[in-house]
Amino acid sequence: MDFDSAIKAHANWMLRLFGYCKGTSQEKLDAGTIQKDNVCDLGKWLHGDGRKFAADPEFKTLVETHAAFHKSAASVVVLVDRGQRPEAEKLLSSADSEYMRRSTQVVGLLKKFQRRYAAVK
């Protein structure tokens, strides 16, 4: 796993969602796809090769937090699709929103795994 790429890709979600909220993105986001935690590269790894780290107590936390992140990201898209852009933007900019908490947790856990397992392929 390239942890740096996973962290960057995860951070890119914020930009993608903000662009979608502001209407500046040409990308059409689908909440049904986004809520799936096994479609992105990190999710594929977590549900595939990453399972070799299942003995690490924080691996389960990472899997669960990553899944919760995807659900919260999907909720942003649902709000935008319903015309509730201000509410969606609040989820992306409020430090205590579910989206921001989960996003921060995923990045923190990825950094821990990077320190522990960067040399392990």
Tens digit of each residue's pLDDT (9 = 90 or more) over 25-76: 999 999 999 999 999 999 999 999 999 999 999 999 999 999 999 999 999 9
Total structural domains in the chain?
Answer: 1
- 33 touches 9 (CB < 8 A): no
Task: Supply the range of the domain harboring residue 69.
Answer: 3-117
d(CA 88, CA 73): 10
The pLDDT, as a whole number, for residue 34 is: 97
Task: Output helix, strand, coil percentages for the chain, rounded to the nearest 5.
Answer: 75, 0, 25
Question: What CATH number should be reported for the domain holding residue 22?
Answer: 1.20.120.30
